[in-house]
Amino acid sequence: MLHSLGYFAAIFIGLSLGIMGGGGSILTVPVLVYLMGVSPVLSTAYSLFVVGSTSAVGASGYFRKGLVSLKTAVVFLMPSLLSVFTVRKVLMPTIPHVLFTAGSIVFTKDLLVLVAFAVLMVAAATSMIRSKQAEEVLDEELHFPHAFNYPLILTIGLVVGTLTGFVGAGGGFLIIPALVLGARLPMKLAVGTSLAIIALNSLIGFTGDLSAGTPIAWTFLLGFLSFALGGIVLGTYLARFIPGARLKPAFGWFTLAMGTFILTKELLFRHA
């Protein structure tokens, strides 16, 4: 039963990516952990592959419409690709399974990943809940002439690459504001460029896992991916009729509830 819900959730992940240009990837790790029974650390690797592949499909549609800024993507990806590959190849394998113990509480690597991911979910949810107000501010900012902000783009690229590598999420809620404010991109161009960045970031991060010898259950992973790809194809079609900005606040509240659930379950009830 849980596996069936997991595959349905994979469709929903792709659907949200197709309609909103981001957001859905933040649910991939919780779905893999709580519905599909995959360990948290391995789930981050699987998430990189699923998020990267679905984002690549979404980005291809934007690219055909001329809505991907290659110059901006290259500048962003220079620090981002280096950091995401380093985290997956070097940092993650060196983190010990047991980090420390406090009485009866054992703080493990898996718990660290879940807590970090839940905190990221809460941050992403806050961004999505405030998306309408934020997008109005961003649109107003575009009326003022500013140069391409290389330090901001490079810095956010480094931060997003590190987060992507550690928790297996795309980081679109950070990328899009950076592209609008730092690279002066219109919103639609920022969404397309963000999907391209997420795709490359995630897939390069996944190669770090492959080179580190992470065991991959390809039959399961490709099956899960096929449902997510079906969702993003459907979502891209529905995006013509459903404005993503209208769905983001509701999706944000759902993501906030999920992040709060993970923090509560893992920190308060795991050892109860």
How many whole angstroms separate alpha carbon 81 and alpha carbon 158?
Answer: 8
Are 261 and 125 in contact by the 8 Å Cβ rule? The answer is no
**Total Cβ atoms within 10 A of residue 144:** 7
The pLDDT assigned to 36 comes to 92
Confidence band for 127, pLDDT divided at 50, 70 and 90: confident
Task: Please give the structure tokens belonging to residue 14.
Answer: 């792709």
More confident residue, 74 or 180: 74
More confident residue, 150 or 245: 150
Strand partners, 100: 107
Return mean pLDDT, the chain: 81
Are 170 and 201 in contact by the 8 Å Cβ rule? The answer is yes
Is pLDDT of 146 > 60?
no
Confidence band for 233, pLDDT divided at 50, 70 and 90: confident
Is pLDDT of 139 > 70?
no
Confidence band for 49, pLDDT divided at 50, 70 and 90: very high
The pLDDT assigned to 23 comes to 62
Task: List the one residue out of 36, 38, 19, 162 whose CA is nearest residue 90.
Answer: 162
pLDDT, tens only, 50-102:
988 988 988 888 888 898 988 889 998 999 889 988 888 888 888 888 888 87
Is pLDDT of 144 > 60?
no
How many whole angstroms separate alpha carbon 126 and alpha carbon 93?
Answer: 31
Confidence band for 226, pLDDT divided at 50, 70 and 90: very high
Are 252 and 129 in contact by the 8 Å Cβ rule? The answer is yes
Q: pTM of the full predicted structure? A: 0.80
- Strand ranges, E, within the chain: 98-102, 105-108
